[in-house]
Amino acid sequence: MKQWTLHGKRGIDSLVYDENALVPEVGDKGVLVRCTFSNLAVLLSLTEPVHAAALNYRDLVIATGRYPFPVKEGVVPASDGAGTVEAVGKHVHRFKPGNRVATLFNQDHYGGSLDARTITLGVGGSIDGTLREYGVYDEQGLVKIPDNLDLLEGSTLSCAALTAWNALYGLESKALKQGDTVLTQGTGGVSLFALQFAKSAGAKVIATTSTAEKAEILKKLGADHVINYKEEPNWGEKVKSYTANNEGVDHIIEVSGPTTMKQSLAAVKIDGLITIIGFVGGMTNDQPSFLECLTHICTVRGVLVGSRVQFEAMNRAIEVRNIKPVIDKQVFTFDETKKAYRYMMDKKHFGKVCIKI
């Protein structure tokens, strides 16, 4: 089979293409998926003509050696994927050939909190990922994709969608409620899924972006207010002005990290929740101290994707509410994977970047 592997920490140049890799063997509890997954994952279907993969910011970070969790040398990259089950082991009960499935990001994270073991079992990190034509996964590390999505759309769920869902619903005492206000940042996968989930649940959404063109698209997706952060560098107070009595927002989806935390703290409501997803905005020494969580009286929470229980709950909501993932208009072929990485690194995308296989 064909696959990509990562060797070294030289960014895009670390990607190596192999046209003669061995198809992995199926054990007693294994599920063989012919795939073309997403988020730098691959999704190859037996019945649907379009095979595709999609990228996550995480995949770029792994390639440059900046990922804070375990990564093995020579790993097949990409955490996300959706494909069709081709064969199952004799002790598999959850799936059968023909089922359409997606990968679980941390393979043993079935429910509850991560622990010292499950946090190390990331697909595309310590476990071979989805940028390959065939993958074998334990039956517990897969979920069925929603019936309203095709495989290309289903391939975008494993990382970005589930992270957004966990951010909004994972802390039960502060789970999203109808009428809450949510702040999203930019137009990456997590932010767009958070916008869609929040609007479908009856929440108000304020979004930030960098261009007028992207602002118009965010409004079409349902954003109630959009702020251009290049024109409003102190956008935290502007966000507050769009909330009742200038109280601030209930949920902040913090994807940029150190470069935007100061503004997020300025925007959050008393006893609100800031969920830290990543650091796509880069690093800086000029960032708030932990003490500012006290002075702003808020909760700050870090998340690493989510559990299978959350994944299945999210998929039910996607199906019932007929939510469709936002996929970038530029789709790459499998042998253009390096170009897809570059496209995402250059921030030319809107939504999920996918690779056709």
CATH code at position 202? 3.40.50.720
CB 232 within 8 A of CB 337: no
Q: 222: Cβ–Cβ under 8 A, 6 or more apart, which residues?
A: 195, 196, 199, 205
Asked if residue 135 and residue 23 are part of one domain, the reply reads yes
pLDDT the model gives residue 35: 64
pLDDT the model gives residue 45: 32
Separation CA 266–CA 269 (nearest Å): 9
Q: Give the residue from 98, 106, 107, 105 showing the smallest Cα distance to 139.
A: 107
Separation CA 42–CA 38 (nearest Å): 5
Boundary (domain end) residue, out of 302, 323, 346: 302
Asked if residue 234 and residue 329 are part of one domain, the reply reads no
Domain for residue 165, yes or no?
Answer: no
pLDDT the model gives residue 245: 96
pLDDT the model gives residue 191: 96
Asked if residue 124 and residue 10 are part of one domain, the reply reads yes
Asked if residue 13 and residue 30 are part of one domain, the reply reads yes
Separation CA 135–CA 268 (nearest Å): 42
- Would you tell me how many other CB atoms lie within 10 Å of the CB of residue 66? 12
pLDDT the model gives residue 142: 96
Domain for residue 61, yes or no?
Answer: yes
- Give me Rg for the CA atoms of the chain: 20
Boundary (domain end) residue, out of 277, 302, 327: 302
For residue 115, give its domain range: 3-159+306-356
pLDDT the model gives residue 280: 80
* 142 three-class SS: strand
- Which pair of structure tokens corresponds to residue 185? 């940042």
Asked if residue 284 and residue 155 are part of one domain, the reply reads no
CA-to-CA separations, 287 to 239, 291, 320, in angstroms, rounded: 19, 12, 41
Sheet containing 52-55, strands listed edge to edge, beginning at the edge strand earlier in sequence: 40-43, 52-55, 352-356, 327-333
pLDDT the model gives residue 41: 37
pLDDT, tens digit only, all 357 positions of the chain: 999 999 999 999 999 999 999 999 999 999 999 864 444 333 333 333 334 567 899 999 999 999 999 999 999 999 988 889 999 999 999 999 999 999 999 999 999 999 999 999 999 999 999 899 999 999 999 999 999 999 889 999 999 999 999 999 999 999 999 999 999 999 999 999 999 999 999 999 999 999 999 999 999 999 999 999 999 999 999 999 999 999 999 999 999 988 999 999 999 999 999 999 988 877 777 889 999 999 999 999 999 999 999 999 999 999 999 999 999 988 888 899 999 999 999 988 888 988 876
Domain for residue 153, yes or no?
Answer: yes
E-state strands within the chain: 3-6, 15-18, 30-36, 40-43, 52-55, 82-88, 100-103, 134-138, 142-144, 181-185, 204-209, 225-228, 249-254, 268-276, 299-302, 327-333, 352-356
Asked if residue 147 and residue 287 are part of one domain, the reply reads no
Q: Give the residue from 238, 233, 228, 242 showing the smallest Cα distance to 181.
A: 242
**CATH number for the domain that contains residue 40:** 3.90.180.10
Separation CA 28–CA 53 (nearest Å): 27
Separation CA 252–CA 313 (nearest Å): 21
Boundary (domain end) residue, out of 302, 322, 344: 302
Separation CA 158–CA 124 (nearest Å): 12
Number of domains the chain contains: 2
Asked if residue 13 and residue 150 are part of one domain, the reply reads yes
Q: Give the residue from 94, 99, 93, 104 showing the smallest Cα distance to 46.
A: 99
Domain for residue 166, yes or no?
Answer: no
